[in-house]
A and B are shown apart, each in its own frame.
Chain A
């Protein structure tokens, strides 16, 4: 059954935004630091310029990684509470259906809109109106920044799946804000 919508959703959304801002700031990747570094990227010293560009990209990757890592641990914690009374799962598809319905509902009060699979361990979960993107405008300049709004959720999923016995990689991409797709690739040992 759908839990009663409560105001704490908004609280989480705001916290999520602040968390992203903090991580970027703490790794020197906030707008001001990046602008300073960008300016240096346009200098005449090619080597230094390229290095700065690589630094920008790598540091961005670090931020994503920190956010994803935080999500991973929280996902592990959450799934324990969400599956207390559920029977065990038949197979991976069963697990993924749970993620799409129950897990997503617990997190975002709606289900995943579309699930696709190649039946070889890859699943694509589509959310046509991802709640953590609804506050962001759809302008082109935001598309570049978009991965940072998905990283934490990717971690949540990877952590939850990990506790359910599914080792995987989770990535996400935005088609048109606020729609996005999460790709789960299950790793076979």
Chain B
């Protein structure tokens, strides 16, 4: 699969302010255990309740969405990001600030589409699977971390961006990478929290 060059090397380097109280490079100090283990218990419960992987993926996405529409307020309140002027900037903020802030990792951003509407986040390390070796048996189509897609979709909706967010690869499934695809669809009406120019 041909990859576009990592845009970070050519685009303007932005210094997004990290929230006061967070130290760069201290990802390993983050206490995500409670969240990660709770998430694991939730996925296990979903596997018990729902037989179909499609249904589980959908449920995780919905739950993520409900979280995202509220998480965005917390994010905007605790980070120092200014208004983004392009979708690329938005994705850059997601990777460098949001992922860093909440999960302690910074995924790589690659551009999938020259028109600039489609990006991928590549997670070198996915904290959600820290204590997991394999997918649960008989759930080979499960996107284990699908909650993340819903969160992104919900959060972006609240800043007036309709997007399509989904996993396209997952190392847990045996793929080479763990890749989340974010596609910009359209701007939405209404001021909600923070408009885009």
- A5-47 interface mask toward B, CB cutoff 8 Å, 1 = contact, 0 = none? 1111011101110110111001000000000000000000000
| Contact of B59 with A by CB under 8 A | yes
> Which A residues lie at the B interface, using CB under 8 A?
3-8, 10-12, 14-16, 18-19, 21-23, 26, 66, 70-71, 73-74, 77-78, 81, 106-107, 152
| Contact of B81 with A by CB under 8 A | no
Question: Given A70-B41, A73-B41, are A8 and B32 neighbors across the interface (CB < 8 Å)?
Answer: yes
Q: SS class of chain B's interface: helix, strand, loop or mixed?
A: helix
> Which B residues lie at the A interface, using CB under 8 A?
19, 21-23, 26, 29-35, 37-42, 44-46, 49, 59, 63, 66-67, 70-71, 74, 78, 101-104, 131, 147
Question: Given A5-B21, A7-B74, A26-B49, are A107 and B63 neighbors across the interface (CB < 8 Å)?
Answer: no
User: Quick one: which of B19, B34, B45 contacts A66, CB cutoff 8 A?
Assistant: B45
Cross-chain contact A22 with B101 (CB below 8 angstroms):
no
The 10 closest A-B pairs by CB, nearest first: A70-B41, A12-B35, A14-B67, A18-B63, A74-B37, A7-B101, A8-B32, A7-B102, A10-B74, A74-B41
Chain A residues near B22 (CB-CB < 8 A): 4, 6-7
Cross-chain contact B66 with A77 (CB below 8 angstroms):
no
Chain A residues near B35 (CB-CB < 8 A): 8, 11-12, 15
User: Quick one: which of B30, B31, B38, B147 contacts A74, CB cutoff 8 A?
Assistant: B38
A152 to B31, CA, bound (A): 19
Chain A residues near B46 (CB-CB < 8 A): 22
Known: A6-B31, A15-B67, A22-B59. 14 other contacts (CB 8 A): A6-B30, A8-B102, A11-B32, A14-B71, A15-B42, A18-B66, A19-B63, A66-B45, A70-B38, A70-B41, A70-B44, A74-B38, A78-B33, A106-B31
